[in-house]
């Protein structure tokens, strides 16, 4: 399972729920980074990316690979 969470272009903090285990987690993506890889408490990998379009609202998605 590939997980991806999209955050707003100016957001630096986020919270999400792991699609694999349901664990809630939060993190920080420094404003000079476009993406990052984080782990939930159970060790599942979640990729955090910034929205491409500054006018677009942030949206989360989890997709199976």
Closest-CA residue to 10 (of 56, 41, 43)? 56
**Contact at 8 Å (CB) between 54 and 9?**
yes
Summarize the confidence of residues 3-13 as an average pLDDT: 94
Q: Check residue 40 and give its pLDDT.
A: 93
In the chain, helix, strand, coil percent, each to 5?
0, 50, 50
Q: Check residue 63 and give its pLDDT.
A: 41
Distance CA 41, CA 65 (A): 21
Q: Is the pLDDT of residue 14 over 60?
A: yes
Q: Check residue 53 and give its pLDDT.
A: 67
Exposed e or buried b for every residue in 27-45, given b needs 16+ CB within 10 A?
Answer: bebeeeeeebebebeeebe
Summarize the confidence of residues 22-39 as an average pLDDT: 94
Q: Check residue 46 and give its pLDDT.
A: 95
């Amino acid at each position: 399972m590939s997980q991806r969470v999209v955050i707003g272009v100016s957001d630096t903090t986020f919270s999400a729920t792991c699609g694999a285990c349901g664990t809630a987690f939060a993190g920080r993506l420094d404003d000079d980074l476009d993406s990052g890889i984080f782990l939930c408490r159970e060790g599942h990998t979640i990729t955090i990316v910034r929205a491409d379009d500054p006018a677009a609202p942030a949206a989360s998605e989890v997709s199976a690979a």
